[in-house]
Amino acid sequence: MVCLVVKAGGAKVFGRWKEAFARIAPDLDVREWDDPTLDSARIDYALVWQPERGRLAAMPNLKAILSVAAGVDHVTCDPTWSRAIPLIRMGDDEIRLHMADYVIWAVTSLTRDAARWQQAQAQAQWARRAEFPLLSAQVHVGVMGLGSVGAYVAQKLAGWGFVVSGWTRTPHTLDGVACYCGSDQFSTFVAQNHILVCLLPETPQTRGLLTYDVFSRLRQPSGLVNVARGPLVVEADLLRALEDGTLRGAVLDVFDREPLPETSPLWHAPRTLITPHIASEASRAARAAKVVATIAALERGEDVPLRYDPERGY
């Protein structure tokens, strides 16, 4: 019997995973991460979110690691993890669909000054303004990363009427999206956009990419949507840019430290909307189905999509 160990929340959440797997794969032996009766040599697969360092390395017969999320930085940050073991990212239509909805909401919130109206409402102020917002067709949105999620989001934004461009590591072509790639074209890409939407994976190359200098090169009124990972943005630069008006607004779903500490100045940054890493998560049923299909394919010796590439770093 194939054994899957799950680390994705506490005992209650594990119970829900177990039920989800029991419905579609009753033959799968699904075990809790800290099950004291489980011999680690019996574990074939691990489904994880933020596993403690060293734990995966202590599973001698592990055939693959499956991430509960689209990002795998929560696994690759563990220096003891063996790159020889396949690491599979979570990917599903639901992730793309939820993300597109979130990003459309975030970008339109920026263009329609949602944070400002929220603040005015909190103070019971009828604060009409003299200037008119830009129409969607006048707003240039740059999507950083055109992968399984980013490409879909970019095309949805284009369909909404925004002027959309994308930036990647390698050349791409995408209907309705002007594509740029590599560090050579980064400045040109940034300078033509009002709003950046960050959908890059966290790697040594992308960490700290979004700085005050980048924000200051955007067209005005400018904005940032970060739905990728917190460390891609230099937090002190982001705060400075929001405080001095270089950035007109931000919608942030991910942070250096999560949960975002109560003391973080980002909670009170001007014209900023904050959500607690909820931009996109597929339902448990959809993710369990993906895990079962991936395990079945691996057991048949087939290659599976969304496999982490240690050379690329994502």
Active site residues: 229, 277
Interface with ligand NDP, residue 70, by CB under 6 A: yes
The residues near 276 (Cβ < 8 Å, ≥ 6 apart) are: 253, 258, 259, 260
Pick from 276, 243, 248: nearest CA to 262: 276
DSSP per position, 163-178: EEEEEESS---BTTBE
Interface with ligand NDP, residue 100, by CB under 6 A: no
Interface with ligand NDP, residue 199, by CB under 6 A: yes
Closer to ligand NDP by Cβ: residue 54 or 305: 305
Q: Which of residues 135-194 bind ligand NDP (CB under 6 A)?
A: 145-150, 167-170
Interface with ligand NDP, residue 210, by CB under 6 A: no
| 3-state DSSP helix/strand/coil % of the chain, to nearest 5 | 35, 15, 45
Identity (one letter) of the amino acid at 125?
Answer: Q
Interface with ligand NDP, residue 237, by CB under 6 A: no
Interface with ligand NDP, residue 273, by CB under 6 A: no
Interface with ligand NDP, residue 226, by CB under 6 A: no
Q: Which stretch binds ligand NDP (CB under 6 A): 17-25, 127-135, 273-281, 295-303?
A: 273-281
Q: Which two tokens stand for residue 191?
A: 């300078």
Using CB under 6 A, count the residues that bind ligand NDP: 31
Q: Which residue has the tokens 């949602």?
A: 114
Interface with ligand NDP, residue 87, by CB under 6 A: no
Interface with ligand NDP, residue 228, by CB under 6 A: yes
Q: Sort 83 into a burial class: Cβ within 10 Å, 0-12 / 13-18 / 19+.
A: exposed
Interface with ligand NDP, residue 8, by CB under 6 A: no
Given 67, 68, 113, 201, the residue binding ligand NDP (CB under 6 A): 201
The residues near 154 (Cβ < 8 Å, ≥ 6 apart) are: 143, 146, 164, 166, 174, 177
- How far is 148 from 282, CA to CA, in rounded Å? 14
Closer to ligand NDP by Cβ: residue 43 or 90: 90
Binding region for ligand NDP (CB under 6 A): 70-71, 95, 99, 145-150, 167-170, 199-203, 205-206, 227-229, 253-254, 277, 279-281, 314
